[in-house]
Amino acid sequence: MSWSVNYSARSARSGFTLIEALVALALLLAFASVIVPMMFQSRRLLDNPRGRIAAQVLLRSLLDEAPDRTRMLTFRDGETDGLHWSVEARPFDLGVVTLIDTAPKSNKPPGGSDGSAPQWTPFRIAASVSWAPGQAVRAETVRLLKRQQ
């Protein structure tokens, strides 16, 4: 009989009380509230360099493509592999800058068979590529195009 009393006394003390269970649950929630945002932030940090590299490669290719006079006077945009891009080209005003040719003169005409020098127009090209909200790379360059006769 003493064994059954001892067993019931031991079973009454085994397990967790309600307070202990609530404290454990509160600690678990506190750790989860700290760890889960850190996991999402680390995911964004890992994805950010990949997106930046892809955006920089696309930006470089947009600026390096062969200039075409018919497309230079327009604003173009589009999406490539999830990257949104835009290119804008405008004639570049040099203001009062005058270019002087200091190269030695030769007997050959510089422009062509008629002896006229080629006329060039500078264009300012601005390109932008974005891969996520608030994440974008931008670059500008100047290209020279022959004037149409």
Q: Enumerate helices (H) and strands (E) in the chain, giving the number of each.
A: 3, 4
Looking at residue 15, its pLDDT comes to 81
What whole-number distance in Å separates Cα of residue 126 and Cα of residue 88?
5
What is the mean pLDDT for each group of 10 consecutive residues in the chain (149 residues)? 54 79 94 86 71 90 76 80 90 66 61 60 89 90 77
pTM (two decimals)? 0.53
Rounded CA gap, 140 and 67, in Å? 14
pLDDT for position 136: 92
The dihedral sign for the CA sequence 37, 40, 46, 49? negative
- Residue 2: the pLDDT is 52
Q: What is the pLDDT of residue 126?
A: 92
Cα separations in angstroms, 2 against 11, 14, 42? 14, 18, 60
Token readout for 98 is 């005058």
